[in-house]
A and B are shown apart, each in its own frame.
Chain A
């Protein structure tokens, strides 16, 4: 079965500091991997996705993630945090075994950005 683990339910960074949100997946076959962001009282917005092309994926708002098969990881990074990045971030996986159209989400990481 596929699963996703997000390390750290809360991450706090200073404005301008590096953002690193951790995600590890469990899948017996290479999956599709996603990062979504959820602002308060809103739905989910796709930040970026990995679908077996380049292992370094660039997304919106300056975020990027690197697929590392050997570490079964897909960590999300941003070089310099902005106040507007404060939100909840979800890592998700889909793939053949679980069905491509069924997203399995991690528990989420709430990012706080302080001045």
Chain B
């Protein structure tokens, strides 16, 4: 069974540009989560999508946005890139949320570098 996949592996952008990161969940999983792992800031929850809807959002500005497609894959978009957006972005997926915890399985991440 294929795990969570993310693309691209590495992404280099300059300040002010937009970045698009992609995530494909494990087959059968309908929830997708995004986390940012920035140097010195640790792992922080960014977004949670379930059944195509944004369900929860971390403490990030609106220039961080995303969407979930009908096949449950997801995109994370970061507009007006800033140097401090440089980080490893991890995607995770889980079975449908039902008010209780469902184990999140993580992908290998996309390393975004902003110059």
Which A positions have Cβ atoms within 8 angstroms of B?
A: 32, 36, 41-46, 49, 51, 90, 92, 94, 99-108
Contacts and interface: CB of A to CB of B under 8 A. Distances in A.
B11 to A, nearest CB: 15
Interface in B36-86: 42-45, 48, 50, 55-56, 58
A106 B42 CA distance: 7
Contacts, number: 59
B90 interface: yes
- Among B31, B90, B100, B101, the one with the most A-chain Cβ atoms within 10 Å of its Cβ is B101
A32 B42 CA distance: 20
Given A44-B90, A49-B103, A104 B108 contact: no
A65 to B, nearest CB: 16
From DSSP, what is the main secondary structure of chain A's interface residues?
strand
A105 B101 CA distance: 15
Given A106-B42, A107-B42, A101 B107 contact: no
B contact residues, range: 20 to 34
Contacts of A103: 33, 35, 43, 45, 104
B101 A43 contact: no
A101 B42 contact: no
From DSSP, what is the main secondary structure of chain B's interface residues?
strand
A49 B50 CA distance: 22
Contacts of B100: 100
Which 8 A-B pairs give the minimum distances between C-beta atoms?
A43-B106, A105-B43, A44-B106, A100-B101, A43-B108, A107-B42, A102-B45, A32-B101
16 contacts: A42-B108, A43-B90, A43-B106, A43-B107, A44-B90, A49-B103, A92-B43, A94-B101, A99-B48, A100-B101, A101-B56, A101-B94, A102-B58, A103-B43, A105-B42, A108-B42
Contacts of A32: 101
